Amino acid sequence: MSLFEKARKFTIADEAKEQGIYPYFHQLTTKQDVVVNMEGREVMMFGSNNYLGLTSDPRVIKASVDATNKYGTGVSGSRFLNGTLDMHVLLEKELASFLDKENCTLFSTGFQTNLGIISAIVGRHDLVFSDKENHASIYDAIKLSYGKMVRYNHNDMEDLERQLKAADPKLGKLIVTDGVFSMGGDIANLPEIVRLAKKYGARVMVDDAHGFGTIGPNGKGTAHYFGLEDDVDIIMGTFSKSLASVGGYVVASKEVINFIRHTSRPYIFSAAIPPANTASALEALRVLKEEPDRPKRLLDNASYMRKRLKEEGVKIMESETPIIPIYTYTAIRTMMICIKLFDLGVYVNPVVPPATPKGECLIRVSLMATHTPEIIDKAVKIIASVVNNFPEIEGDE
C-alpha cells in the first residue's frame, strides 16, 4: 500500500464540512478575551484556557513588546548552547521559589515538557503508572522513554494499588497523573497517590497544566491544594494557560533538573522559548503573585456558572475547577450543538471520541477570572436554550 494511502482515505473532516457539522479551526481576529471576534462575528469566549484573563492584560503585553525590542524575535538555538537568556534563568528562579521547589527549567511547549521529562527520567526497564485520562503528551512521552506503561483506571486508587503490588519491586517506578484533568475538570486523588507511592517505592509526577493558577493557595496548583508539595517529586506546567504565553516548565530537586538539562533530547535539540514569550510568562507570574485574588475570582465564576446551569436544567459533570463539562452524549449531536452555539454567539469546545468513549461526548466550558456575571448569565441562557431542546440525531453514536 502507498505510504499516503491513509491520507487519501481520510475523508471524515471533509465530510463533516460538507454536512455543516465541522466545529474546528475558527479564526480569531482579536485578542483572547471574554468576548472575541471570530470570522466576522462577536462571540463570548467560554472555550479558552486563558484562566486568569492575562493574555490581554496591558502589563503582560508591554513586557512581551519590550523583550522583543531588547532581545529580538528569537534566540536561534537551544538552551544547551547559545539560546539561554538571563530572562530564562530569572523565570526559572521565580517559578521554583513560587512553587517551593529547589530548581526549575523551561521547555518550548507544554507538550514538549512532558516528552522531555519522562523520556529522560524513565529508562528501558522502568515502569510508568499512568491514569487512563492523562494528557496525550504523557502517553507519547512514555513511548519515547522506552519504559513500560501501566495504565490504571481513572482516579481509581484500588486499581492503581493492584498494579503497583503486581510490579517487580526491583524496577524503577513513576506514577504520573494530571493534577486537574482537562476534559472532566476533576482533581487527581493526590493524597492517596502519594501514600501508595511511599508504600511501593515509586516516585510521583504531576502534570499541572490545568491546576497551576486555578487551584491551591495563590493558584500554586494541585500539590499545594492538598499540602503535598514536599511529597510530589516532579511538577510540570505550561505557560499557554494561566500564564498567558507559550512554553512549559518543570520543577523538582536540583539533581533531577540537572539530569534533565543534560540528558533530555527534546530539551537539548530544540530552540529555547523566544524572548517575547518568556517575558510575558514572567510578567504573568508576577501579576499572579501581586494579585492572589485572581484564582479565587476564577473559581467564584465557575461556581456561579455551575449554579446557573443547574437552575436552567442543564446536566453537567460535577467538578471544583474552572472546567465545566456539559453532557451531550453523541458525537454528531455534540458538534451540531457547538455550531449552533457559535452561531448564537457562544464559543465552547466539543469533546468527542477518541477524547471520550462513544456515547459519553461532552461540551467543555471553561471560565476566566475576567468573566462577569452578566456575560455568564447571557451565555447560560443561550446554552440552556440549545442543549435542553436539541433533538437526538438518528444514527449518531
Ordered domains of the chain (ranges, CATH): 15-45+292-387 (3.90.1150.10), 58-290 (3.40.640.10)
How high is the pLDDT of residue 358?
87
| C-alpha cell, 383 | 446554552
Residues 338, 381, 303, CA angle at the centre, nearest 5°? 90
Task: Tally the C-alpha atoms within 13 A of residue 397's C-alpha that lie toward its C-beta.
Answer: 4
Does the pTM exceed 0.75? yes
| Contact of 131 with 188, CB cutoff 8 Å | yes
Give me 379's grid cell. Answer: 451565555
| 210 catalytically annotated | yes
Name the active-site residue from 182, 240, 245, 280. 182
Query: In the structure grid, which three cell numbers stand for residue 328, read together?
Result: 451531550
Q: What tens digit of pLDDT does each residue of 119-164 get?
A: 999 999 999 999 999 999 999 999 999 999 999 999 999 999 999 9
pLDDT confidence bin for 344, thresholds 50/70/90: very high
Q: Which residues of 69-93 are buried (b: 16+ CB within 10 A; e: fewer)?
A: eebeeebeebbeeebbbebbeebbe
Tell me the pLDDT tens digit for each residue of 269-326: 999 999 999 999 999 999 999 999 999 999 999 999 999 999 999 999 988 999 999 9
Cα–Cα dist 376/380, whole Å: 6
Residue of 88, 101, 210, 224 marked catalytic: 210
Is 378 among the residues known to form the active site? no
Question: Cβ distance 200 to 167 under 8 Å?
Answer: yes
Alpha carbons 133 and 130: distance in angstroms, whole number: 8
| pLDDT category of residue 397 using cuts at 50, 70 and 90 | confident
Quick count: other Cβ atoms within 10 Å of Cβ 96? 20
Q: How far is residue 291 CA from its own chain's centroid?
A: 22
Rg (CA), the chain: 21
Q: Which of 173, 241, 242, 366 is catalytic?
A: 241
- How high does pLDDT run on average in the chain? 96
Residues 6+ apart with CB under 8 A from 125: 147, 148, 171, 172
- The residue among 217, 189, 195, 222 whose CA lies nearest residue 206 is 222
Cα–Cα distance list, 72 to 31, 57, 275 (Å): 22, 22, 7
241 classed as catalytic: yes
pLDDT confidence tier of residue 393, bands split at 50, 70 and 90: confident
